[in-house]
Structure 1
Amino acid sequence: MISTEKIKVVISDLDGTLLNSDHKISQYTKTVFQELHNQDYLIIVATGRHHLDALDIVEDLGCPVYLVTSNGARIHSPQKELLFSFDIQSDAIKSVFDLQIDPEITTILFKENLWQTNKNNEKLNSYQKKSKYLPEIVDFKTLEDFESIKFYFTHDNHQKLVDLRDQILEKHPDDFSHAFSLPFCLEFMDKSVDKSVAIAKILEKENFVFEQTISFGDGFNDENMLKSSGKGLIMGNAPESLKDRLSHLEVISTNDNEGVAKYISQQLLNN
């Protein structure tokens, strides 16, 4: 049983964590998070999604939350005020895109108001069915401005992405941070950007520390967040490689079984 006296902040990822496989938040989960708010817990949602995409999703929770998006490159207050913003410079990204990237791999730039990609990808589109954040297909060979919040690559063959990661890191060993948010999604951010870094900014602002937090996640972009929290919990649907890497952390039920909400209700709210 977690000490309710110690935990004051609840942190959760979205995809594979709060969201089910249909990319929706269940009514039960909404009810639990509203009760968290009623009991004065600070709530932080930290996601790799763009803020235009994520803002509508967290609004559906029906309670105020701090929102960390693009893996830490943006922070919005519960009043939707932009508190922190960081972009990767154009030249740094262009030098990556100048590499010989397998044309089968879908390439994406996260811009402020749209995302640019080299091809239509139905799998990606399914994650953003009602989003205001829309794609634009471009030819990256003719693109002039590469400045972006983050860039990433997706392919169903995980090994192709591993090979691409190694190729990029060989040329840019110290320029970027990176993570597999999903086995088929390889993301690159500036080396200063991480969910845990952004969360630390919020905690400082609200006069809390990581020891007072509980966090939930399912991807490698959640790793530092989970390790930093007073109590880090891994979703049952997370990759086995993440569970092995963080073997000291508890694994809970899956996102489709409302694992986050059930854990909070039983262990934190004592219902």
Structure 2
Amino acid sequence: MEDYKLIALDLDGTLTNSQKKISPATREVLLHAQHAGIRIALVSGRPTAGVLPLARELELDQSDGYIISFNGGKIVSCKTGETLYERYLPKELLPRLCGLNKKHPLAVIIYSSDTIITETADNNYVRGDAFINHMPVEEVPNILPRIDFHVNKFLFPGDPAYIEKLLPSLRREFPTCSIYCSEPYYLEVMPNNVDKAQALAVLLGRLGLTRSALIAFGDGFNDQSMVRFAGMGVAMGNAQQVVKNDADFVTRTNDEDGVAYAVQKLVLPGVETHA
């Protein structure tokens, strides 16, 4: 049995169930893991503020846990609040990126430290993002003049079929950016070479650990990199097929305590819990 020291968990569709909640059984198993000296990193496309409530629920501040937000663009220590690593988009690209929603039928979202900023607060995707992240929405007529902070990512929600067709041309237009879909309806623009695996490699280096000590859980397209990278890559039962294809182990779904089941089976054998 491999001696795992770091558990990396995607949130939506992985750690949380369909109600966006951590089940009691999953929470219990993850607290057991932390009491056994295993660190947890919550690895999400969400902004840091949108991950904090779940980090508090899992008591990551007491167990030296980490938040990796913006799909790998930022690493924060839950114990100290210190930013350990951060990547953001070049200032010279911001005017062109701010104009994409005017050229295409897309909404646009950026994040300050505690607010979702958009030009269309009544957009269904924007409202959904605010609900998931528990963050207030600030509507502005034009995003560009509002930017007085480093932008970790742009989120362009829209019709999945349109986004799928648009993706190749945007990658050609912005070759210095990492552009992909975290969900079919979420087009994300990040600094180049930013993904969940890259950030986990940075964190492992800081902790003096190797990939073999990492077990990573995911379900979506943006989880592929870390599922491939980890010593043990775990796909949820509800994961995209490409994630399952890359995984070393496929667990139960997020509504069947899939994280708890796999952690108990692969990380904490012999530990009695109610999962």
CA deviations 1:69-110 (Å, max 9, x no partner) are 11122111131222222321333132133345333x222122
The answer for the alignment partner of 1:268 in structure 2 is 267
The answer for the alignment partner of 1:31 in structure 2 is 28
Q: Distance in 2 between matches of 1:127 and 1:57?
A: 16
Task: Give the letter aligned to residue 145 of structure 1.
Answer: I
- Report the RMSD for the aligned CA atoms in angstroms: 2.2
Change (3 A) 1:202 1:209: same
Deviation of 1:218 after TM superposition, in Å, equals 1.0
Percent of matched pairs sharing the same residue? 28
Task: Give the letter aligned to residue 133 of structure 1.
Answer: M
The answer for the alignment partner of 1:252 in structure 2 is 251
Aligned pairs for 1:127-142 (under 5 A) are 127-129=129-131, 131=133, 133-140=135-142
Whether 1:153 aligns to 2:150 is no
Aligned pairs for 1:169-188 (under 5 A) are 169-173=171-175, 175-188=176-189
Change (3 A) 1:113 1:179: same
Which of residues 42, 46, 52 in structure 2 aligns to 1:45?
A: 42
Deviation of 1:116 after TM superposition, in Å, equals 1.6
Q: Distance in 1 between matches of 2:20 and 2:126?
A: 12
Q: Where does the alignment leave 5 or more consecutive residues of structure 2 unmatched?
A: 271-275
CA deviations 1:46-87 (Å, max 9, x no partner) are 111111111121110134321101112211113122222232
Q: Distance in 1 between matches of 2:161 and 2:242?
A: 14
Q: Distance in 2 between matches of 1:255 and 1:118?
A: 33
Deviation of 1:27 after TM superposition, in Å, equals 1.0
The answer for the alignment partner of 1:229 in structure 2 is 230
1:106 partner SS: coil
Q: Distance in 2 between matches of 1:74 and 1:134?
A: 21
Deviation of 1:211 after TM superposition, in Å, equals 1.4
1:84 partner SS: strand
Task: Give the letter aligned to residue 227 of structure 2.
Answer: L
Q: Distance in 1 between matches of 2:57 and 2:146?
A: 37
Contact 2:98-2:144 within 8 A present in 1 as well: no
Deviation of 1:123 after TM superposition, in Å, equals 4.5
CA deviations 1:170-205 (Å, max 9, x no partner) are 2112x1112321122121110032221221121111
The answer for the alignment partner of 2:82 in structure 1 is 81
4+ runs deviating over 6 angstroms? none
Count of residue correspondences: 263
Change (3 A) 1:41 1:28: same
Aligned pairs for 1:57-206 (under 5 A) are 57-63=54-60, 64=63, 65-79=65-79, 80-99=81-100, 101-103=103-105, 105-119=106-120, 120-129=122-131, 131=133, 133-140=135-142, 143=145, 145=147, 147-155=150-158, 157-173=159-175, 175-206=176-207
Give TM-score, length-normalised by structure 2: 0.86
Task: Give the letter aligned to residue 152 of structure 1.
Answer: L
Task: Give the letter aligned to residue 199 of structure 2.
Answer: A
Task: Give the letter aligned to residue 204 of structure 1.
Answer: G
Q: Where does the alignment leave 5 or more consecutive residues of structure 1 unmatched?
A: none
Change (3 A) 1:240 1:12: same
Task: Give the letter aligned to residue 195 of structure 1.
Answer: K
Q: Distance in 2 between matches of 1:148 and 1:136?
A: 16
Deviation of 1:242 after TM superposition, in Å, equals 3.8
Q: Distance in 2 between matches of 1:144 and 1:131?
A: 21
